[in-house]
Amino acid sequence: MMSKLELKEDKMLEVQFVGDDDVLNHILDREGGAKLKKERAQLLVNTKKIIKKPEYDLEEDDQEVLKDQNYVDVLGRDIQESLKNGSAADGGNKVYSFQNRKHSEKMAKLASELAKTPRKNVSFSLKNDPEIMINIPQCSKGHSASDKVQLKNSDKSEFLSTAPSGLRKRLIVPRSHSDSESEYSASNSEDDDGVAQEYEEDTNEVILSQKIPSQNRAISAPICKETPSKKMKRDKTSDLVEEYFEAHSSSKVLTSDRTLQKLKRAKLDQQTLRNLLSKVSPSFSAELKQLNQQYEQLFYKWMLQLRLGFNIVLYGLGSKRDLLERFRTTVLQDSIHVVINGFFPGISVKSILNSITEEALDHAGTFRSVLDQLDWIVNRLKEDSSLELFLLIHNLDSQMLRGDKSQQIIGQLSSLHNIYLIASIDHLNAPLMWDHAKQSLYNWLWYETTTYSPYTEETSYENSLLVKQSGSLPLSSLTHVLRSLTPNARGIFRLLIKYQLDNQDNPSYLGFSFQDFYQQCREAFLVNSDLTLRAQLTEFRDHKLLRTKKGTDGVEYLLIPVDNGTLSDFLEKEEEES
Amino acid sequence: MATSSVSKGCFVFKPNFKKRKISVPVEDYFNKGKNESEDSKLRYETYHLIWQQMKSETEQLQEELNKNLFDSLTEFLQKSYSGFQKNSRDWGCQIKLREIPTAALILGVNVTDHDLTFRSLTEALQNNVTPYVVSLQAKDCPDIKHFLQKLASQLMDCCVDEESKEGSIQVAQKKTHCSMDSLSSWYMNVTQKTDSKMPRKKRTSTSQWQSPPVVLILKDMESFTTKVLQDFIIISSQHLHEFPLILIFGIATSPIIIHRLLPHAVSSLLCIELFQSLSCKEHLTTVLDKLLLTTQFPFKLSEKVLQILTNIFLYHDFSIQNFIKGLQLSLLEHFYSQPLSVLCCNLPEAKRRINFLSDNQCENIRRLPSFRRYVEKQASEKQVALLTNERFLKIRELYCTCLEKNIRDSEEYVSALQLLRMLAKDDLMTILQKCFQVFKSSSEKQLGSTAKRIEEFLAQFQSLDEAKEEEDTSGSQSKGLQKTDLYHLQKSLLEMKELRRTSKKQTRFEVLREKVVNFIDSLVREYLLPPETQPLHEVVYFSAAHTLREHLNAAPRIALHTALNNPYYYLKNEALKSEEGCIPNVAPDICIAYKLHLECSRLINLVDWSEAFATVVTAAEKMDANSITSEERNEIIHARFIRAVSELELLGFIKPTKQKTDHVARLTWGGC
């Protein structure tokens, strides 16, 4: 030991092993714990003490609680000394909190509430509004700790929400014991209990108004529910984790059945969408301008840092395309640079490398593989160190580029000392693309540039949800094509449509197997042989009315690649006509 | 030229040839876009100088640290290779010949640092053992064919480097099919050729054998597919007599992985020896020692910054590379943002620069908070003098830098002090002796008297020759203290004092030790004040911890969440001000759509969503209904909704689903 000590004698700072607790602590801090105050931790501990009191004397549980308390103490400590993290100001804890299941009508209610009080800050908490609660008693199903986290913005639960689920579970252990034999397992927030109560006593105004506060409920709640029923157990999810799995199990989600079809406004095409949006006058333009100016001041700093071997990645809400474009026009005019639109659906690493080799480096030859090409670029740039190349990648995290191989190659490119990469990312989970190895290749410096600009260009290529997709067949063309067919062919197609519509609720529906289809067609006297049917199907396929897929068992399945709404409309129309 | 098109995604811009030649020097970016551009050139140069020094220092350090490992590896390679040479007919040797000598190199989890290690390892091996050193990565070798191809091509590249570049024929060979047979015949060829080529002259250490072994480094052994590894080992063991292969496995986890990847039948073909690299923690400690806790580099990190860097290291990656990157960034930020950093250089140079300080710079100094505080403490007439007389200022400035140096000087003693508390007599004495040496060597006059005192203590110790056996207890007590740093030192010292008081019977040795420690403690208190209390600490200390954290360890998810949830944070418009958890209905469309979608469960009905959105937005708009028809207004709102939804899709909050018509699926669970 002595020799070891001597070895260390002139070391000032020791690196030491850290336990899980500290790591947790640190993570908490990292995830925007900046806002958390020590008192919050205190609060949590206090409630724990209250919970601990009740009459049951299970020592192990007490022990457990004590342990939890320590754990919580650890979690709470040191948090206030965390450093200012600009983006975390809103309390990043909420980011990772759990969500509860909500009734579908809630959204509309919330909207109407918002609409009722224009120009005023409206709390999104529906639960503060007793009337609504009465109207939809089945809502109670979902109210749980997390709900409170979001809506009541209680300090305490903010903490709860960040704690790992294991801890949460442990925290509730004592209380579930208080219910002795009953199978009912208590839910983990006083709020929930409040709801439970409310359910029991059938929408009682008094209790509802009590509901809005506070921690004290924790004491009263366990006493109140002596006669929990089985039904209630189902109604109230006992644990957030279970809740999660319940929500994500295969069971149906309750949403309204309304479809856009019935709505007058159907999908718009890209052009009309643009025209319409151009009429909207942007709000907060002064503030947005200020934000942008703030970022523009960084341009030279970015250049400096790029030149010194870092690469820059921009993140934050809003399109960063304009910003990068301005960066390009202000500082990059005199150097070779490549702008890469990651959001372009046809982009690939191959095309990026091609434009580097062919256009930027004037190389005429072709390459056998992407890796060869990469090697060539690397060698070329190593040979000629006066050669400098700037890469601007909009949406490095796009569908086409987010693959592991693409990222590896771009990372390798960016690690060259005379390639400078400045990129933007938008996707929520974009940083997951990079493991440690890739991150060290990229050598990122992160810059937050929240612009709030609309992602006009980025979403214009995307086959967006509500934008009319040119690939799918609208009703009119469907009718048009079928008009030109023989009655038998129409009959065949109708058979297929009907079968598909019958199976539309079947999630495992693969398609109509060819043999069965042939059988049915024969029975309907539509075809007389396998061959005629196949010929007919080929014609459908040519008109993009049919797709065939081989199942795992080798059977051929037939599918109409048109959405079911259009198909049923088509059938209705056909019936009207005939 | 526009950068958007429906037919391509890459746009290359090349300036005119003439223009391109004027490449802007890097330092120009240092002052551009900033108001105070004083001395920026000088500052950049200083930055560059210090960074270069630091970099070479770390590289040297790395080399030194790896030296032991590399030496033992080289020794192993040479030893195992001599087995190949002795072509004895002895049966034991025959058996051994079937075993591939293998070095399992355990490198730790900091994968990002491995590359550097392997690079220098390759270099070291090429210099000392064999020209044929090949390293492969798992991602290049999805199957045995690629494995062999890569191996062959790299091997031949090694050879091309050796011989004068005549090997363009080999490029063609690269593409051809490779097998172990072709490899070994190639190897025969090459070794015979080199033998004939350099008969006696070039018999340096490089080619001390007629046929040098081929060293194959598998950089990330864990990620190789089992089958590839197994096949390769079996095949090459068959060819071992004609193709002397030595394997080096780079292992990040633990040596057990070898047996997990290879069945016994295969691993028995290997003759494995383990090598352990220095742990990254030790490595970091040395780096800290050599870069930050010395007087060599004037640049210092403040407590917070250091904490952030070590935290990133400890909690995120264990990567020295990243730590050094953080150091570089803080160095850059310091010189970039602090105009007075021009004085952050070695002492004589700083003295020189002080003499050239401009009025403006002096003003800057006056503005520093630490200087203000310092001035306020002085007598009033002095204050006036300080603020008016420039010459006076310069002298103070100089003194200040000296003071800084003192702190640094004595910092080295602090670690000794820590240990003193726990050490037995013998150690204490040696340490004291060392301290004495250091004190003596330092020319600072303030420290002169301390040296004398230490000498006295030493004499006292010598007289105290009866052995006191309490050492063990005190040793164990203080073990926990080992792991503190400079900033926790004061605290721990106090703790120690209390500990002392509780222990009753003190031997003479302990009394004396107590004295020494107290003395050193007072020394520390005098000289080791926290840097923040020193005037002009801003010159050498970098303290903008949050910028560092923002750029190195960003939290994009939180930023996104904040922007969606609380637009007021970014857009400072009163209309957007709201309580937590609420959002005003005039907020940007995407925020409203986001808020509404939070109310939904796994699936969201687009119609409902759209209607809810329309309700909110219509209410927010106090639009004069006369100007546009309500139908058109609805259209526009619908368009805005579409935009918001597709933006949320782009951001990854929702995705289209086929589970139900006109529904989207939520991709996040919870508030985000």
Q: Do A12 and B415 touch (CB under 8 A)?
A: yes
pLDDT at B55 over 60: yes
Maximum Cα–Cα distance for chain B, whole Å? 106
**What dihedral do alpha carbons B522, B528, B529, B535 form, nearest 10°?**
130
Q: Dump pLDDT digits (tens) for B162-221.
A: 444 444 444 444 455 677 888 888 888 877 766 555 444 444 444 445 668 888 999 888
Query: Which H or E element spans position B102?
Result: strand B100-106
* Structural domains present in chain A: 285-448 (3.40.50.300), 467-577 (1.10.10)
- Enter the tokens of residue B117: 């290690």
Query: Which candidate from A102, A111, A317 shows the least CB-CB separation from B560?
Result: A317
In percent, the amount of chain A with pLDDT more than 70 equals 52
Least confident of A177-181, A488-492, B59-63, B663-667: A177-181
CB of B246 closer than 8 Å to CB of B101:
yes
Which residues are within 8 A (CB) of B130 and not within 5 positions of it... i.e. 6 or more apart? B77, B206, B212, B213, B214, B215
Residue type, B214: V
Q: What string of H, E and C letters represents the secondary structure of A503-529?
A: CCCCCCCCCEEHHHHHHHHHHCCCCCC
Nearest Cα neighbor of B366 from B325, B396, B337 is B396
Q: Average pLDDT for residues A244-272, to the nearest whole number?
A: 66
The alpha carbon of residue B134 is apart from the nearest alpha carbon of chain A, in Å, by 17
Q: Do B643 and A459 touch (CB under 8 A)?
A: yes
- Enter the tokens of residue B228: 């590839």
Which residues are within 8 A (CB) of A351 and not within 5 positions of it... i.e. 6 or more apart? B8, B9, B10
Nearest Cα neighbor of A313 from A438, A129, A226 is A438
Query: What per-residue string of b and e applies to B484-522 under the rule 16 or more CB within 10 Å gives b?
Result: bbbeebeebbeebeeebeeeeeeeebbebbeebbeebbe
Distance CA A55, CA B572 (A): 53
pLDDT at A499 over 80: yes
Is A569 part of the contact surface with chain B (CB cutoff 8 Å)?
no
pLDDT at B425 over 60: no
Range picked from A478-482, B157-161, B475-479 for highest mean pLDDT: A478-482
Higher-confidence residue: B130 or A141? B130
Residue of A nearest to B608 (CA): A108
Chain A residues closer than 8 Å to B483 by CB: 14, 16
Chain B residues closer than 8 Å to A10 by CB: 289, 412, 415-416
Q: What string of H, E and C letters represents the secondary structure of A164-188?
A: CHHHHHHHHHHHHHHCCCCCCCCCC
CB of A358 closer than 8 Å to CB of A350:
no
DSSP string covering B48-63, please? HHHHHHHHHHHHHHHH
Q: Do A437 and B659 touch (CB under 8 A)?
A: no
| Res. B64 pLDDT band, cuts 50 70 90 | confident
Spell out the domain ranges in chain B. Answer: 406-463+505-528, 556-666
Q: Dump pLDDT digits (tens) for B298-349.
A: 777 777 788 888 888 888 888 888 888 888 888 888 888 877 777 777 666 7
Q: Do A16 and B483 touch (CB under 8 A)?
A: yes
Residue of B nearest to A152 (CA): B581
pLDDT at B29 over 70: yes
Residue type, A476: S
In percent, the amount of chain A with pLDDT more than 90 equals 9
Query: Which candidate from A9, A96, A456 shows the least CB-CB separation from B416?
Result: A9
Size of the A and B interface in Cβ pairs below 8 Å: 483
Question: Tokens 């004895």 belong to which residue?
Answer: B88
Q: Dump pLDDT digits (tens) for A275-300.
A: 778 877 777 888 889 899 999 988 98
Least confident of B27-36, B434-443, B479-488: B479-488
Chain A residues closer than 8 Å to B553 by CB: 30, 446
The alpha carbon of residue A34 is apart from the nearest alpha carbon of chain B, in Å, by 12
Q: Dump pLDDT digits (tens) for A377-388.
A: 988 888 888 888
Q: Dump pLDDT digits (tens) for A422-459.
A: 999 999 889 899 988 888 889 999 999 999 888 888 88
pLDDT at A538 over 80: yes
Provide the pLDDT for residue B643: 87
Beta bridge partners of B217: B135, B248
Query: What per-residue string of b and e applies to B51-90 under the rule 16 or more CB within 10 Å gives b?
Result: beebeebbeebbeebbeebbeebbebbeebbebbeeeeee
Question: Tokens 């010459």 belong to which residue?
Answer: B391
The listed CATH number (1.10.110, 3.30.420, 1.10.3470, 1.10.10) that belongs to domain B556-666 = 1.10.10
Q: Do B661 and A565 touch (CB under 8 A)?
A: yes
Distance CA A224, CA A194 (A): 10
Query: Which candidate from A123, A325, A445 shows the least CB-CB separation from B579?
Result: A123
Q: Average pLDDT for residues B262-282, to the nearest whole number?
A: 86
CA atoms lying within 13 Å on the CB side of residue B483: 8
Q: Average pLDDT for residues A202-210, to the nearest whole number?
A: 38
Chain A residues closer than 8 Å to B19 by CB: 334
Put simply, the chain A residues between 326 and 365 with a CB less than 8 A from any chain B CB are 328, 332-342, 344, 346-347, 351-352, 354-356, 359-360
Query: Which candidate from A283, A337, A436 shows the least CB-CB separation from B112?
Result: A436
Chain A residues closer than 8 Å to B416 by CB: 9-10
Distance CA A510, CA A533 (A): 20
Q: What is the CA radius of gyration of chain A?
A: 31
Q: Do B561 and A340 touch (CB under 8 A)?
A: no
Residue type, B97: L
Put simply, the chain A residues between 248 and 307 with a CB less than 8 A from any chain B CB are 248, 253-256, 258-263, 265, 268, 272-273, 276-277, 279-280, 283-284, 286-288, 290-291, 297-301, 303-305, 307
CB of B223 closer than 8 Å to CB of B140:
no
Specify the 3-state DSSP secondary structure of B262.
coil
CA distances from B304 to A83, A458, A509, B284, B634 (A): 8, 40, 59, 17, 54
Provide the pLDDT for residue B200: 42
Range picked from A550-564, B197-211, B247-261, B448-462 for highest mean pLDDT: B247-261
CB of A560 closer than 8 Å to CB of A567:
yes
Distance CA A158, CA B671 (A): 12
Question: Tokens 């004396």 belong to which residue?
Answer: B512
Distance CA A226, CA A193 (A): 12
